[in-house]
Structure 1
Amino acid sequence: MDDEIIEVVDDGGVVTGTAPRAVIRSRNLWHRTAFVIVRSSAGDVLVHRRALTKPLAPGWWDLGFGGACDVGENWHDAAARELWEEAGIRTPLHHLTAYRWDGKETRETGHLYETASDGPFTHPADEVAESRFVSTDGLGDFIDQHDVLDASLQLIVPFLMRPPKRLEAPA
């Protein structure tokens, strides 16, 4: 996975070249990402704990599924692919917002999506250690009691504090 080639972008999101994932991480280069919030039909949020083998924030909790866009891949397709790879579901995605994240360990420009599903979910062991639904009312307590990625707290939490838009879990 560290030898996977990813597009490097400037801080405005314009592609400037490519580099192996390991180089992007070690130099904290800007790259394109896409993430998806998964809600149940009741509006609860599917949170997941990152696998202990992940190079970035192993064992920390995340409020969205996603990752780097493949070379030439658009954000929507990247979000759908990452959702399939990390949660084992294919569901319609609703675009929420574009974002920039200038973090200490990762710098990303991307898009955030939302979907609805009650599962079942399948998680590859090298990506996700566990997952569970958390109600929006219980989200504050969950965050207080667990290590949650800063990007999730800053980028995703604001979208969880409002009702989901036009989402229905497939029957």
Structure 2
Amino acid sequence: MGNPSEEVLDVVDEQDRVIGTAPRGEVYRKGLTHRCVFVLVRDRAGRIFVHRRTDTKLFSPGAYDMFVGGVVGSGEAYPEAAVREAEEELGVSGVEPRPLFKFLYEGGGLSWWCDMYEAEWDGPVHPQESEVAWHTWLTAEELDGLLARETFVPDGLEAYRRYLELRAA
């Protein structure tokens, strides 16, 4: 893969309609709204895949996350991106993400549409070394403990809050 900051993304409006394209670096620098996918992956025991991002990531380097995922490429559909991102980050094939909900994340002068999914994976994982510095499977209670001690990506925190609200409803 080339330089991540040169990857072309769709730029979208407040209704998630494509209004143009731009390289990822420019999208981040100018705070242009774009598209992302988030996949919460659980094993058969219900534990959640949690990881720490590498220090080379453009957004939230070194932060923890309870989702795998990332930006949606220009012209790519959300469901395709969810499968691609989950399989890349987990280092597996055959992931079948189920759609949950979508929301507009806004924070720190940045914004993106987050299309949320969940998936079950019970086999071995081989996380992408360029994306994942550390990983494990945690129960919800163990994740709560990690959330209290470590820095998590802000969009992932918002997505997880919304996910918990959905499950409680």
On whether the aligned pair clears a TM of 0.5, the verdict is: yes
Bigger helix fraction: 2
The verdict on how the C-alpha distance between 1:160 and 1:39 changes in structure 2, with shifts beyond 3 A counting, is: farther
Distance across 1 between alignment mates of 2:97 and 2:118? 6
Matched, 1:6 2:20: no
Matched, 1:138 2:142: yes
CA deviations 1:41-83 (Å, max 9, x no partner) are 0111101100111121111001101111111111000000001
Distance across 1 between alignment mates of 2:73 and 2:138? 30
Shift of 1:124: 1.9
CA deviations 1:27-53 (Å, max 9, x no partner) are 111001111000010111101100111
In structure 2, the residue matched to 1:169 is: none
In structure 2, the residue matched to 1:34 is: 37
Counterpart pick for 1:67 among 70, 75, 91: 70
In structure 2, the residue matched to 1:166 is: none
Q: TM-score, normalised by structure 1?
A: 0.89
Contact 1:101 1:151 in 2 (8 A): yes
RMSD: 1.6
Structure 1 vs Structure 2: percent identity of aligned residues? 32
Q: How many residues align?
A: 163
Shift of 1:2: 0.8
CA deviations 1:102-154 (Å, max 9, x no partner) are 11153111310000112311122211101111101222211001111111111
In structure 2, the residue matched to 1:149 is: 153
The verdict on how the C-alpha distance between 1:40 and 1:162 changes in structure 2, with shifts beyond 3 A counting, is: farther
The verdict on how the C-alpha distance between 1:157 and 1:119 changes in structure 2, with shifts beyond 3 A counting, is: farther
Instruction: Extract unaligned runs of 5+ from structure 1.
Output: 164-171
In structure 2, the residue matched to 1:79 is: 82
The verdict on how the C-alpha distance between 1:162 and 1:9 changes in structure 2, with shifts beyond 3 A counting, is: closer
Q: TM-score, normalised by structure 2?
A: 0.90
In structure 1, the residue matched to 2:115 is: 111
